[in-house]
Amino acid sequence: MRKIKLSKDLKEIKKRIDKIKKFGHGKSGMCIEVDYFKSSFWLRDDDGIPFQPFVIMFIHKESCFMLKTHMVIPNDKFRIEFFEQLLDVLENNQFLIGKIKVKKQDLFDLFEKTATDLGIRVELSKRLTGIEFAKRDFNQFFK
């Protein structure tokens, strides 16, 4: 599994966020759903130790189009990788995001400050239909 290069420090993250601010997210932008879950399959790390990766998905709510999927080793740094993935989605796609819906409180807490600074609303939702469909298809594919 490819290891993601995390931002080296807060200055680099701030620089990325300042760049994203210029894109004009917020206001009339689209809604995306974001959630993570433990995969239905096992992998081995570099030392041969088996683990079940966490999968984070970014889905366009209206079309259920998958914008990004990323797998991480479930360790104490996986939420940092999720934050980096959010920045990647905001930087590298040609669409404007107005709202992010999440199901888990930890994702809400992770994304809220930065998203709010960018003019993007973050909402807790009991049900994320796009994620549910994508998760079901993802797990069926890897059976």
Residue 64 lies in domain: 17-141
Residue 142: what pLDDT?
A: 75
- DSSP summary character for residue 24: -
Q: Is residue 79 part of a domain?
A: yes
Maximum Cα–Cα distance for the chain, whole Å?
Answer: 47
Q: Which pLDDT tens digits describe the chain residue by residue (143 residues)?
A: 444 454 556 677 778 888 887 777 666 678 999 999 999 889 998 899 999 999 999 999 888 889 999 998 888 888 888 888 888 888 887 678 889 999 999 999 989 988 888 888 999 999 999 999 988 888 788 77
In whole angstroms, give the CA distance from residue 55 to residue 21. Answer: 27
**pTM of the predicted model, to two decimals?**
0.81
Q: Which helix (H) or strand (E) holds 80?
A: helix 78-92
Q: Is residue 11 part of a domain?
A: no
The CATH code of the domain that includes 127 is: 3.30.420.10
Q: Is residue 4 part of a domain?
A: no
Residue 103: what pLDDT?
A: 95
**What is the number of domains present in the chain?**
1
Q: Is residue 7 part of a domain?
A: no
Q: Is residue 74 part of a domain?
A: yes
